[in-house]
Structure 1
């Protein structure tokens, strides 16, 4: 797999539909051995849990703002040994956090540490990162 190094490149891949999902895990080889597991119930789910990248219809800010937010959503997974990567696949259901579960996975690219740093800076500069909805 190649590596994506900045938000502009990620936006292009997302806009073209090449990489509509982001996943934090050990990687495609590890994930190919088993689907995701719901940690609270212990049940295996019918696909891999992923983070969708395309912005919803109501989003009127630049796509890069949305993508920075999505990339930063699961950064805590890095501490557990996960590595972010982009993929394509067929959605078959939803997980316990209403995240898509996908099968027929096609790995697309790794997300570089430079992109993670850029996304964090962008997220905190452009949006009210961590602002409560209440």
Structure 2
């Protein structure tokens, strides 16, 4: 897993309201666009050619599969905050405050008592 590149995606998208909207509405196309033109950008003048998502990472991002991302070693906080940005409001309308965070924790319950996956890059 390219933890760096997945974490860069989570960080970048979560901090840009337009990116987050596009990722929420059309994840498949946005992940492809990000991987081809946004992610490789190092600065305004330079592009990288060495980073890419594995198929497993790409599918987890497309499917908003935060459990798989966690298990692959995506940074816990980055993983949580981007999906709060996507799901917090709809979940809160249905189930009240912290509803998404509670679901996130419940879906990761099988990790209680185990060592979490390393987030080292």
Task: Give TM-score, length-normalised by structure 1.
Answer: 0.28
* Greater percentage in strand: 1
Q: TM-score, with normalisation over the residues of structure 2?
A: 0.30
| Structure with the higher helix share, 1 or 2 | 2
